[in-house]
């Protein structure tokens, strides 16, 4: 088996969002801030914030059985 000595693929240089950042996303969404605004505040790319919001958003039901969607940082973390 040959070992490749020259690798042209660069190493990934990303970090996962931490619980603190997810909490900030929740708070800023509560203030009706835009994805781009949240991304600037956290120093992240807007697509990262968008994917996190999509990942952490779940459907909920009220007592009158109407549905709504809400972002939960714990769901995004899981």
* Ordered domains of the chain (ranges, CATH): 19-71 (1.10.10)
**pLDDT, tens only, 3-22:** 666 767 666 566 789 999 99
pTM exceeding the 0.85 threshold for the entire prediction: no
Residue 25 burial (CB count, 10 A): 25
The Cα–Cα gap between 14 and 5 comes to 24
* Contact yes or no for 53/25 (Cβ under 8 A): yes
What is the average pLDDT across 72-76? Answer: 84
Angle between helices 19-30 and 35-42 (to 10 degrees): 140
Distance CA 63, CA 39 (A): 34
């Amino acid at each position: 088996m040959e070992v490749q000595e020259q690798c042209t693929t660069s190493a990934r240089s990303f970090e996962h969002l931490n619980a603190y950042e997810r909490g900030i996303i929740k708070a800023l969404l509560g203030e009706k801030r835009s994805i781009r605004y949240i991304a600037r505040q956290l120093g992240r790319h807007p697509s990262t914030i968008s994917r996190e919001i999509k990942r952490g958003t779940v459907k909920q039901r009220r007592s009158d059985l109407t549905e709504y969607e809400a972002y939960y940082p714990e769901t995004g973390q899981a």
